[in-house]
Chain A
Amino acid sequence: ETGVTQTPRHLVMGMTNKKSLKCEQHLGHNAMYWYKQSAKKPLELMFVYSLEERVENNSVPSRFSPECPNSSHLFLHLHTLQPEDSALYLCASSQDPTSKGDEQYFGPGTRLTVT
């Protein structure tokens, strides 16, 4: 266990559905991240929150909407997704993203399938 949990682990949704992914970290870290991992592709950074403020939005379509109500919780709200959005969505946390060498702790991911 890395101290980062994600729910649900698997999600199948239609293109017209609205769903949310949840991430919780128990490490007392100050930063949280959402990544997308597609087969044979590098991890793609989607969003970064530092001290509950969004500091990075990596040109992600508006059908993905993050929310960080406190430093321990991170959500990714999904609506009107496309089949190409099917992927493994990983949440991560780190102590201090402003310091170099800040290692990241990842959750197990949510396997999302859009039908």
Chain B
Amino acid sequence: SQKIEQNSEALNIQEGKTATLTCNYTNYSPAYLQWYRQDPGRGPVFLLLIRENEKEKRKERLKVTFDTTLKQSLFHITASQPADSATYLCALQGVLNKFYFGSGTKLNVKP
């Protein structure tokens, strides 16, 4: 089965800086990878999807990269704001209907 690793330690950064979160996976390379945001007491919310043939994907202040050689995805938030503070999860889809999530990295953006 697929194993996904995200940095379990919280990432603390200053407002205005760029936050970079890492997602590493083992075994096979998925056709695509997703990133979700989860706030306390709430379910995850879909943010971005990147396909294996895409090196980079952007959406407003968010940028995701996907390196199938390194088996790694990086998630960047530029010009970070305190409202960006949350836990960010990466997810892969394996064979039909089987989704694998990382345990998430908590981001704290300090004013």
Which of B12-20, B39-47, B59-67, B72-80 touches A?
B39-47
Taking a contact as CB atoms closer than 8 A, the residue among A48, A55, A102, A109 that contacts B43 in the complex is A109
Q: In the bound complex, do residue B43 and residue A106 qualify as a contact, i.e. CB atoms below 8 Å apart? A: yes
Are the CB atoms of A107 and B43 closer together than 8 Å? Answer: yes
Sorting the interface of chain A by its residue count into under 10, 10 to 19, 20 to 34 or 35 or more gives 20 to 34
A 54-75 to B, binary, CB cutoff 8 A, 1 in contact else 0 = 0110100000000000000000
Q: Is the CB of A108 within 8 A of B43?
A: yes
Q: Which of A56-113 contact B (CB under 8 A)?
A: 56, 58, 90-92, 97-98, 100-109, 111
Instruction: Name which residue of chain B comes closest to A97, CB basis.
Output: B97
Can you list 14 A-B pairs with a CB-CB distance of less than 8 A? A2-B43, A40-B8, A43-B101, A48-B97, A58-B98, A90-B44, A92-B43, A97-B96, A101-B31, A101-B93, A106-B43, A108-B42, A109-B41, A111-B41
Which 5 interchain pairs have the tightest Cβ spacing?
A: A106-B43, A43-B101, A103-B46, A48-B97, A42-B103
